[in-house]
Amino acid sequence: MNSLEYSLVFFILVPHSFGRCFDMSFSLCWMGENDALQRQNRDLFFNGTSLKSITKAGKVSSLKLFPLVENKLTFQYGGSNLRWTITVSPRTKTVKITGRQKPSEHPTNATKDFLALLNPAEVFVCENGTTFFHQDENFFLAIGHTLRFPLKLEGRSPTMFLVSWMEMDPSVLNIYSLTVYHRELGSYNVFTEETTERNHHRFSALDPCSHYLVCVETADSHSFTCLSAITDPDVPKDFEVTTWNSSCISLSWDCPVNMKYSLFLLTVFYLNGTDHIWDEVSLWLRDDTFEFTLSDLQPCSRVKFGLQTVCQAGLETGYSKIVLNEGNSGHSNIDALLQTSFGPDNYTLSWEVGNISFISMFRVYHQGELQGTTLLTSYTVGGLLPCYKYQAKVEALCGENVLMNAKTVEAHTGSRGVSGLRYRSNDSTVVWTPSTLQQTAVAYIYKLSLENGPVIQSSRLFDTKLPLPQLEEGKSYVLDVWEECGGRAAEFTEDPELALDYDRMGLVMVVPWTLPKDLEEELRIKLAQIFTKKMQELLTDFAQPVQVELESFEAADDPHTEIWFQSFDASRPEKVFLPVSDQLHHIESLNDPNITVKNGVIYWDAPDLCASSEHHFCPPHSLCINTLGSFSCVCRQGYHDVSSVTLPAAALRPVCKEGGFFSQCLEKSMIGGIAKAYLTSHASGKVQVKLNDGRCSVNETEKLFFFHIPRKSSQCGSEKQVNRTHITLQNTLSITLVKGQTISRRDLKVIWKCVYPRHYVSNARVASDTLWLSSIYLVEFNSSLSLGLSLVLFRDSSFTRSYEETVSLSFEDTLFFQVSLQTNSTFASDVLLQVESCWATESPNPQDEVQALLLLDSCPADDTFLWMSVNGDSQISRFSIQMFSMPKRLHIYFHCLANICGPDEDCTKSCTSEVRSKRSVRTEGRNKKLAAVVSAGPLVVDMRVKSVQPSVWSEHMTAVFIVASSISLLGLTVLSLSAAKAIMTYFEQQQQ
């Protein structure tokens, strides 16, 4: 067939939006039914690789195209081969298609039927500028673009892809099928298959520098979306300098471990004398010699090198971490610059250089002024004042005034020593003469020690004599005396270690991320162990055995964290500091790609693994915490990890539950629990934890209280309720604060309900009804009149709405009571009500031996009792009290002693601090006022604290409810008939 080849360019217009860079994604899309590619000898090839294996029947399969390269597409069917070359240009927003068969810009009816199957929430990645290569009744092949490509590569490494995707409906729990393909012998084969409920996934155990297809399919959808990517390469091995001289440097290296690479990138860094890079040159090395020689170096040049492995697939390029080699820069560096000795008018510096042959001279500066030059590695600066600190600098030069390296250090002089130091044996006193006779107020430091032995006495004094009456005959002593120098002691010594800058006596590592604020102590300890272990590993091959201790880690300039270490000689029993400069030089010589040593600080240069978004790595309600080279997931503040006791074992840890509340209703057992840390935050002191009636014990771990019991209710006292369709098993975990008092407001009761269908195992959520019943109880007065006395619980301090529906009260709730007298008659409208006493019992009997006294002699006996009205001033008395429980944890009954007062009587009461002795409550008040006891109850207490209810109680097969038992009024103690008659008699007397 000699059809003319054509070149067709489709111009795709994209709406302009200021302030936004478009991420336009071009894709290849195809769809068939009845295995259209599996039969009739059909196949689809993309860049020489068959796509038949990644085709899903009845679903729109798609593959994101590489831009700016020629993508080869071949469609094979019925003995024919249709070929196209596709070039995508995102910048000009054009697609160039070259081939012998012209595509169509219009879909057929069959194609429209295929596309109509897509859910409106799905993204058809060829939705814009769609051009069709082939269409028939069973299959279509097209190209198009979208600005909302549903699949995104978030991050990658040599062994990992981190991929995220759009959710069709975030409010619906979707199941995603994930498939990774790798290319092998002209086709794509399945590498791994997984499922997840999250909108992201991390694929691990991949090969470095390898090509993969990552595909995502949503259950009950009609799209199967794929993208192509390569993993990053591994770093090259054994990167080192083989030979070098003043004009050239030769380097060599070896392949990465898996032997896969496209080429190597060598970067040459040219340094100045202060270690700053003034130029860099990148070289792409494509041969397989694994060697390179940098020739024609200018005299006195300082260079170092960085090497990376590079992998390429089309326009996609992956780079390994850079491996550094110091080249010749380290040979001219000034190392270990320090002050080795000092006197009252001088100090001496010493230093080291890797190769002295490259140095023509050293220049020494004092306070910025040149003091002299030398070819030696030490220099003494003299003619100075005593007790002063100075800034010193040493420069290494090459040739004629070419600066190779410079280092600075703080130096100091000492004090003028005392003279005439002598011991007077007659009075066992040491005396001396000051260095300056006019300086009479100077202080002195002394140190007394045994000869070749330990120090036995040291102190500070202002006199020029020191009594030493405790010296023993026959022993030799050494006494050092020196003047105090500017608030510190400048001690003369020949030990050079004493001259080190103690402010730098430690190792500092800076990491490029900030730790969360208010880290819990347990997490701080864990991170300290990780940091210490890493530093110990870096110093494993140090010249001396090292013991590393972490001093602290704190936030530095955002976003950085500083970690401080101390290091000691591990071969000595006492703590002897090791030289910091030597350790830094050792760490720098390791050429660790994650570490840079600069200005005496160790910088961790590895990427922030939590930076892309913490939820990409960690489960809900957890934080991603960077460690050195890895990361850790920890529960957020207020959440606790329950993964250790859930079934089956959690695949992704931790499992974070608010307050540690969790439960599972399984086919043969039930599990539930609560975090210990949550309990200690709500109750201080020892607690007792009991499951149901106590016949089964509560399991305990370091962090949790939990139960794991069989479904058989008789074994562990589970409460069982059965109806026509379901079986409900209820388990109650009671947490009691152990206190020896009548009223306690810090008890907790948690109730789990598992609901199982009678013929099929499943779980459901069931609410619990609790109802407060308020009633008015009448006392018959005569055949037509009656008086009523009521006790009602209201919702709040407004006393407008009483409880008439489901109520759940906890210890943090306040009870608002109203005691009222209802006369139902005009003649008794001037009768007053006075509440004299109120108390609570755990039985209907008002005279029960165990009583919680709330009100006594019309005065509060409980700290939380508060009058809400004037008692004795009307026919209504209102008060509030905070909820509580009693020792036996039984139902609570409330009782109040009410007095009936006439209009001329004073029914109000003035309370004082006078302490009254306990007495039994009588039904006859003082001054012979007529009185009666009104009772209400029982009230069943919800043992939880209101704030304990977790915000998330969603478990796939679990229902957890913190509820109180049903509250009901079983009865009131009715006012006796004799009391009613007494009231009638009272009114008759008033009328007379």
Which whole number is the average pLDDT over 874-897? 83
* CATH code for residues 638-757: 2.60.40.3210
Closest by Cα among 793, 809, 776 to 942:
809
| Measured CA angle at 651 (ends 647, 652), to 5 deg | 115
Model pLDDT for residues 416-439, shown as the tens digit of each residue: 777 778 888 888 899 888 776 544
Which whole number is the average pLDDT over 866-875? 88
Q: Is 89 helix (H, G, I), strand (E, B) or coil?
A: strand
What is the pLDDT, as a whole number, of residue 306? Answer: 94
What is the pLDDT, as a whole number, of residue 93? Answer: 75
Q: Is the pLDDT of residue 276 over 70?
A: yes
Closest by Cα among 963, 970, 917 to 944:
963
d(CA 62, CA 145): 11
Q: Is the pLDDT of residue 486 over 60?
A: no
Question: What is the third-level CATH fold of 237-325?
Answer: Immunoglobulin-like (2.60.40)
Residue type (1 letter), 640: H
Model pLDDT for residues 176-224, shown as the tens digit of each residue: 999 999 988 888 999 999 999 888 999 988 989 888 999 999 888 888 9
Q: Is the pLDDT of residue 142 over 90?
A: yes
Q: Is the pLDDT of residue 724 over 90?
A: no
Closest by Cα among 801, 853, 794 to 819:
794
Beta strands in 137-248 (DSSP E): 139-146, 151-157, 160-165, 176-184, 187-196, 200-203, 211-218, 223-230, 237-244
Model pLDDT for residues 647-699, shown as the tens digit of each residue: 776 555 688 888 777 778 877 788 888 888 777 666 556 677 888 888 888 88
Closest by Cα among 702, 895, 870 to 789:
895
Q: Is the pLDDT of residue 502 over 70?
A: no
Q: Is the pLDDT of residue 277 over 80?
A: yes
d(CA 135, CA 779): 92
Label residue 497 by pLDDT band (50, 70, 90). very low
d(CA 433, CA 471): 22
What phi and psi values does residue 418 have, to the nearest 5 degrees? -75, 160
Residue type (1 letter), 692: N
Which whole number is the average pLDDT over 737-764? 58
Model pLDDT for residues 793-836, shown as the tens digit of each residue: 777 888 887 765 545 667 777 888 888 877 655 455 677 888 88
What is the percent of the chain with per-residue pLDDT over 70, rounded to a whole number? 77
Q: CB of 17 within 8 A of CB of 42?
A: no
The total number of residues written for the chain in this structure: 992
What phi and psi values does residue 981 have, to the nearest 5 degrees? -65, -35
Model pLDDT for residues 105-140, shown as the tens digit of each residue: 899 998 988 888 888 888 888 988 899 999 888 889
Q: What are the residue ranges of CATH 2.60.40.3210 in the chain?
A: 638-757
Q: CB of 717 within 8 A of CB of 745?
A: no
10 Å CB burial of residue 630 (0-12, 13-18, 19+) is exposed
Q: Is the pLDDT of residue 908 over 70?
A: yes
Q: Is 125 left (phi over 0), alpha (psi -120 to 50) or beta?
A: alpha
Q: CA–CA distance from 966 to each of 550, 791, 817, 940, 941 (Å)?
A: 56, 19, 19, 7, 9
Label residue 747 by pLDDT band (50, 70, 90). low
What is the pLDDT, as a whole number, of residue 233? Answer: 92
Residues 6+ apart with CB under 8 A from 972: 775, 777, 791, 934, 935, 936
Q: Which two tokens stand for residue 424?
A: 């007077």
Q: Element (H or E) spanning 584, and its range? A: helix 580-589
| Measured CA angle at 347 (ends 544, 273), to 5 deg | 70
| Measured CA angle at 324 (ends 319, 328), to 5 deg | 145
What is the pLDDT, as a whole number, of residue 310? Answer: 92
Instruction: Report cis status (omega within 30 of 0) of the bond before 619.
Output: no
Q: CB of 471 within 8 A of CB of 427?
A: no
What is the pLDDT, as a whole number, of residue 787? Answer: 56
Closest by Cα among 582, 598, 486, 483 to 541:
582
Q: Domain 773-907+929-941 has what CATH class?
A: mainly beta
Distance separating the N- and C-terminal Cα atoms of the chain: 132
Query: What is the per-residue DSSP string for 873-901?
Result: SBSEEEEEEE--B-TT---EEEEEEEEEE
Q: CB of 979 within 8 A of CB of 930?
A: yes
d(CA 860, CA 911): 8
Closest by Cα among 677, 675, 656 to 954:
656
* Average pLDDT in the chain: 76
Instruction: Report cis status (omega within 30 of 0) of the bond before 654.
Output: yes
Q: Looking at the DSSP assignment, which residues form a beta bridge with residue 379?
A: 349
What is the pLDDT, as a whole number, of residue 265? Answer: 93
What is the pLDDT, as a whole number, of residue 492? Answer: 37
Q: What are the residue ranges of CATH 2.60.40.10 in the chain?
A: 8-230, 237-325, 334-413
Which whole number is the average pLDDT over 38-63? 84
Q: What are the residue ranges of CATH 2.60.40.4100 in the chain?
A: 773-907+929-941
Q: Is 677 helix (H, G, I), strand (E, B) or coil?
A: helix
Which whole number is the average pLDDT over 599-619? 71
Q: Is the pLDDT of residue 740 over 70?
A: no
pTM: 0.45
| Measured CA angle at 107 (ends 104, 113), to 5 deg | 155
Q: Is the pLDDT of residue 19 over 60?
A: no
Q: Which two tokens stand for residue 967?
A: 């509250």
CATH of 8-230, one of 1.20.1730.10, 1.10.3720.10, 3.30.450.20, 2.60.40.10: 2.60.40.10
Q: Is the pLDDT of residue 394 over 90?
A: yes
d(CA 313, CA 211): 8
d(CA 510, CA 561): 6
Which whole number is the average pLDDT over 973-991? 39
Which whole number is the average pLDDT over 709-727? 77
- Range 334-413 classified under CATH 2.60.40.10: yes
Q: CB of 146 within 8 A of CB of 65?
A: no
d(CA 888, CA 678): 25
What phi and psi values does residue 807 have, to the nearest 5 degrees? -135, 140
Closest by Cα among 972, 795, 984 to 900:
984
Q: CB of 131 within 8 A of CB of 125?
A: no
The DSSP letter of residue 577 is: B
Q: CA–CA distance from 142 to each of 26, 84, 108, 129, 476 (Å)?
A: 11, 12, 12, 10, 101
The overall longest dimension of the chain from CA atoms, in Å, is 133
More confident residue, 132 or 949: 132
Q: Any idea which of 25-34, 82-91, 616-625 has the lowest mean pLDDT? A: 616-625
